[in-house]
């Protein structure tokens, strides 16, 4: 029978280190943790049943940004639902950096949290969790994992197809044919999905796809401003601009105004999220609403159900809705003629 000492000798570490790795406690380097797990698997080590550890009553929430009001809304909803069940929440902000994401996950596991809720996880984060998290640590993803193959955790997502389709049908009904799209980082699965939907729906609607009007940004206001400026200075500019979130849409609107253009008379702008500021911005923002509070509440309930042993679905999909405000309007004939005129001279 293989013992813990055998694993320690094979991995060239102490028995205490093996115990920490297998129980998910202590500060252990990734390299050591992986070496111990590999030795245990290769030798066929089966740990003896141990008394069930009392719960820490904590759940970690890992989000990409605290600058975007969408995420504080979501976090507040998660915390409220957890508190109602006697759990506390650790909030971790990655600032959209994979190294920060992994650092936070390691720290949460070192704290022996009962569960982790991870927004739009990177492939590295998913792989690390599969390798390193204790079996009794519950995990829920918000947005579908990058690599769905072999997925072992539940996830919540929104209906991107419905949201993007409704928005594009609406903007095309306003006679727009020259449509740009500023996407968020394409390293994330949800952004790649939305871009694919954008292209497919335009094709279905018979609208020409202009690849030069598809740009990738960082989800921040500055990214929307800089790329919005670039798009509007294009020799054949778009008459409508979609953005991957509301902050970038605000940036695009400011860039248009800085160039002496009017929104929506000269260019229409559509965001994504429907953060509270969207209805107060001037002009108020047309956007695709994803329900931040409902997503947070659902994520918390899924974690709590997992921890109680309740069977939960692998996927939960929540609906989006198109919110029409003042930043969109009929394609300006004057602006459209400018686009056509330039196209004909090329």
Phi, psi of 218, rounded to the nearest 5 degrees: -115, 10
pTM of the model: 0.80
**How is residue 81 written in tokens?**
């639902």
What Å distances lie between residue 87 and 137, 273, 318, 342, CA to CA?
A: 14, 28, 24, 61
Contact 335, 239 (CB under 8 A): yes
SS3 263: coil
Closest to 262 (Cα-Cα) out of 282, 288, 234, 235: 282
Vertex 268 angle, CA 265 and 273, to 5°: 145
Domain map (residue ranges) of the chain: 1-33, 58-158+292-318, 160-291+323-345
Report pLDDT for 193.
93
DSSP secondary structure letters along 274-299: --GGGGTSSSPPEEEE--HHHHHHHH
Report pLDDT for 47.
59
DSSP secondary structure letters along 14-55: -HHHHHHHHHT-S---HHHHHHHHHHHHHHT--PPP-PPPPP
Cα separation, 300 vs 307, whole angstroms? 11
Phi, psi of 272, rounded to the nearest 5 degrees: -150, 125
CATH topology agreement for domains 58-158+292-318 and 160-291+323-345 = yes
Closest to 216 (Cα-Cα) out of 204, 198, 237, 235: 198
Give the CATH H-level superfamily of domain 160-291+323-345.
Response regulator (3.40.50.2300)
Cα separation, 199 vs 315, whole angstroms? 25
Cα separation, 70 vs 295, whole angstroms? 11
Closest to 273 (Cα-Cα) out of 260, 292, 254: 292
Report pLDDT for 335.
60
Report pLDDT for 311.
84
For tokens 């102490």, what's the residue?
14
**How is residue 2 written in tokens?**
């293989």
Residues 6+ apart with CB under 8 A from 91: 61, 63, 75, 79
Cα separation, 128 vs 121, whole angstroms? 11
- Burial track 100-114 (b if 16+ CB lie within 10 A, e otherwise): ebbebbbebbeebbb
Per-residue pLDDT of the chain (346 residues; tens, 9 = 90+): 677 888 888 988 887 888 777 766 667 887 888 888 888 878 877 655 433 455 789 999 999 999 999 999 999 999 999 999 999 999 999 999 999 999 999 999 988 899 999 998 888 888 888 888 888 899 999 986 655 444 557 889 999 999 999 999 999 999 999 999 999 999 888 899 999 999 999 999 999 999 999 999 999 999 999 999 999 999 999 999 999 999 999 999 999 999 999 999 999 999 999 999 999 999 999 999 999 999 999 999 999 999 988 888 888 999 999 999 999 999 976 565 555 444 443 3
For tokens 């953005």, what's the residue?
243
Contact 75, 65 (CB under 8 A): no
Cα separation, 276 vs 336, whole angstroms? 32
Domain 58-158+292-318 class in CATH: alpha beta
């Amino acid at each position: 029978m293989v013992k813990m000492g055998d694993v320690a000798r094979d991995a060239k570490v102490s028995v205490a280190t093996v115990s920490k790795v297998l129980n998910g406690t202590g500060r252990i380097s990734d390299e050591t943790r992986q070496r111990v797990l590999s030795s245990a698997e290769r030798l066929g080590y089966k740990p003896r049943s141990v008394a069930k550890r009392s719960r820490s009553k904590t759940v970690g929430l890992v989000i990409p940004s605290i600058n975007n009001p969408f995420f504080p809304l979501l976090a507040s909803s998660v915390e409220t639902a957890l508190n109602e069940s006697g759990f506390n929440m650790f909030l971790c902000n990655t600032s959209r950096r994979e190294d920060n994401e992994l650092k936070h996950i390691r720290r949460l596991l070192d704290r022996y949290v009962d569960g982790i809720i991870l927004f739009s996880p990177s492939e590295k984060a998913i792989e690390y969790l599969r390798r390193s998290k204790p079996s009794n640590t519950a995990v829920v993803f918000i947005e579908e994992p990058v690599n769905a193959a072999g997925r072992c955790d539940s996830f919540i997502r929104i209906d991107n197809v419905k949201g993007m389709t409704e928005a594009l049908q609406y903007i095309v009904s306003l006679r727009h044919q020259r449509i740009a799209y500023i996407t968020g980082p394409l390293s994330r699965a949800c952004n790649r999905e939305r871009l694919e939907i954008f292209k497919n729906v335009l094709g279905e609607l018979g609208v020409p796809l202009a690849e030069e009007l598809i740009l990738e940004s960082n989800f921040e206001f500055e990214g929307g401003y800089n790329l919005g400026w670039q798009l509007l200075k294009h020799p054949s500019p778009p008459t409508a601009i979609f953005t991957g979130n509301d902050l970038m849409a605000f940036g695009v609107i400011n860039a248009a105004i800085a160039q002496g253009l009017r929104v929506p008379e000269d260019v229409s702008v559509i965001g994504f999220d429907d953060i509270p500021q969207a209805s107060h911005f001037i002009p108020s923002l047309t956007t695709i609403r994803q329900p931040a509070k409902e997503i947070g509440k659902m994520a918390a309930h899924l974690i709590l159900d997992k921890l109680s042993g309740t069977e939960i679905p692998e996927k939960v999909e929540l609906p989006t809705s198109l919110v029409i405000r003042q930043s969109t309007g009929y394609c300006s004939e004057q602006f459209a003629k400018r686009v056509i005129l330039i196209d004909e001279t090329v």
